[in-house]
A and B are shown apart, each in its own frame.
Chain A
Amino acid sequence: MNLLWLQSAGCGGCSMSLLNAESPDLLTSFEAAGINLLWHPSISEETGSEVSELLEQILNGSLPLDMLCLEGSVLRGPNGTGRFHMLGGTGLSMMEWIEKLAAKARFTIAIGSCAAYGGISAAGDNITDATGLQFEGELEGGLLGPAYRSLEGFKTLNISGCPVHPNWVTETLISIALGEHTDEAVDHFGRPRMYADQLVHHGCNRNEFYEYKASAEVPGERGCMMENMGCLGTQAHADCNSRPWNGEGSCTKGGYACINCTAPEFEEPGHSFTETPKIAGIPVGLPTDMPKAWFVALASLSKAATPERLRKNATSEKLIYPPTIHKRKN
């Protein structure tokens, strides 16, 4: 399986995260899956004219392209020229290269939320006219248009995230290499369901605080971050807390809110990322699939039932009350 990896308007952080792959490491993962890395801007030997020749071979059909991975969003500006990103040494915009190469790819894969939906590069006024490959925010379209299908007949796969978890990428690529990819393997936004059918809330180490609505008020406190600190873990589609990052971590374990970075348009929440917008004291965004009336009723009930241990610990940096030990004998 020949894989070509290109970077456009992004930070390279998805590649840096990919290098964190473990059990096994990235190079071993590729080798085991029979993935032949034609070129990756960070780790390949080929440079300059060697790369231009390789790209030409793909376009003229002499080199098959099984997987085209794009990291970073596509810049269509200024005025539709794509000149905000020219591929060095080629005189052509990256936008043109991507369009041409996507027509030759058996599978086209967006790596990270920028390539999938526009992401951070499309935030603010978006003066560069940044877009995702086949989505512009939540709307289908993007650079390639809603009708685009890769040579194997698939829409763009969107391994979103800012950055991606390394194993979201390696597992998706391996599943393609195994010939197991189907239309049903991705959700409405094109995200592989292997990780996107879960919520960040699942396995969150603050779950007991959530159950009793025992909330943190400022960074560093141990409580649930949904009520005050903007945490979207109950709505965010990803397995960050059931499968940790960098060994033992996740955003919520690191002491800060989930900002729902796998979702289109996460980059413009319409309020500060780390403050929960509320109406009449009730958070505007409810947990996924939770009827509002029940949420309000359960929240007030569970708040009334909050044990002292959780109430005190929630607003503390250090554990004040450890759980009570139950003894069968006195």
Chain B
Amino acid sequence: MSRIVVGPFNRVEGDLEIKLDTDQGQVTAARVNSPLFRGFERIMQGQEPMDALVYTPRICGICSVSQSVASARALADLMDLDMPLNGQLATNLVLANENMTDLLTHFYLFFMPDFARGIYSNEPWFDSVESRFKAQKGSAAKVMLPARSEFLHLMGIMAGKWPHSLSLQPGGSAKPIEAQERIRLLAILASFRKFLEHTLFGDDLEAIAELGSWNELQNWREKHDWQHSDFTRFLHLSDQLHLASMGRATDQFLSYGNYPDPQGGLFKAGASFAGAVTDFDQKGITEDLAYSWMQSVNGPVHPAAGNTEPSLDNEAAYSWCKAPRLNRQVMEVGALARQLINGHPLAADLVSRNGANVESRIIARLLRARYCDPADAKLDQAAKAR
């Protein structure tokens, strides 16, 4: 038996180390370790409740607004506050801006550059993929970075800055939108939509939104050369490298839902076991410390009852992370889980064919980008409601 230790990792947010035990060419154990402990639970203890809005987003610079929204909602729950419609819409727009920015950052800067590595240099597609996606040098980043920055001008207007805003409050947004700013927002969204249609998808967002099955996706793809857009480039690479056969996990999915509005929100909440989507009770969520460098007081407990006492004494431990579970089960969250539980037919078809894998997760992420359009429509509603 031998052990392989992999790290330092790149193009992840946060720290990562992976230890693999192998025996006769088979992996017998894999330990995924977060080698960094900051202890935000402890940093927050004893602070003024409203100051959670300052501390929480600083857990993570790439999902800062998600943390702001979560802490604002928690404070609203505590104070029994309802958010007015415009506050909800403004919060949703800011959150969607971050969400879509992150999908773009992940795809162009974190994910695709791996296919430009020298180990693929004998592949027939290599030269063109390398010139498009090579880390720091590829032509894609040169158009994506300015598009990303310009899209984030929405944050400048609606949240002051990104990351780490304080405009998202329990009762809504601290930033009223002026008439001039509403026009500017419409122009920013229209411009970003052009980037998505021209560079990422190579088709109208409506056409992408209509793709309802694997077959429809293949038919759409066959109409284009593989170098037609960055999406078709990905689909080609995914075929060539069999990405649909990699990265399978438990195929149990959890989505908390998101973008609430009076019509019930853009994404509904639910859990999916063996293909059936059901409601779930957040009381079933616990954090397991069995393999964490933490002192476990009462075994796995709900986060509200949890403790954070770092300790190197736990001999079974290999990570600073706590392990979140739903009813003691490992659940997959993220873009694919969210689309699947919300009933997106393409996501459902992809999962029924090959479960959650590298390919279906990336497709689900990119599908989210097409919501640029409803964001636009909701802005219009917000303006009319004022």
Contacts and interface: CB of A to CB of B under 8 A. Distances in A.
A86 B173 contact: no
A85 B64 contact: no
B10 A244 contact: no
Contacts of A47: 8-11
B58 interface: yes
B55 A87 contact: no
Q: Which of A16, A130, A257 has the most CB of B within 10 A?
A: A16
Given A249-B157, A254-B166, A272-B50, A88 B35 contact: yes
B16 interface: yes
Contacts of B37: 75, 84-85, 128
B161 A245 contact: yes
A252 B160 contact: yes
B36 A84 contact: yes
B319 to A, nearest CB: 11
Contact of A257 (B44, B141, B155, B166): B166
A12 B58 CA distance: 9
Interface in B143-197: 145-146, 148-150, 152-167, 169, 171-176, 184
Given A90-B8, A120-B55, A248 B153 contact: yes
B373 interface: no
Contacts of A85: 15, 35-37
Contact of B5 (A9, A89, A259): A89
A11 interface: yes
Nearest to A97: B8
Given A244-B156, A253-B160, A27 B141 contact: yes
B69 interface: no
B238 interface: no
Given A13-B61, A248-B153, A248-B156, A48 B54 contact: no
Interface stretch (A35-43, A150-158, A297-305, A322-330): A35-43
A8 B12 CA distance: 13
A75 B35 CA distance: 12
B127 interface: no
B235 interface: no
A97 to B, nearest CB: 10
Contacts of A42: 10-11, 13, 109-110
A317 B176 contact: yes
14 contacts: A7-B15, A12-B61, A25-B149, A28-B142, A41-B10, A41-B12, A44-B10, A52-B8, A88-B17, A88-B35, A123-B55, A125-B42, A256-B165, A273-B48
Interface of B: 5-17, 33, 35-39, 42-48, 50-51, 53-55, 58-62, 64, 105, 109-110, 113-114, 116-117, 134-136, 141-142, 145-146, 148-150, 152-167, 169, 171-176, 184, 310, 312, 320
Given A87-B15, A247-B153, A256-B166, 16 more contacts: A13-B62, A17-B61, A27-B142, A51-B8, A85-B36, A87-B8, A88-B33, A89-B5, A124-B43, A124-B47, A246-B153, A255-B174, A256-B160, A256-B174, A273-B54, A274-B54
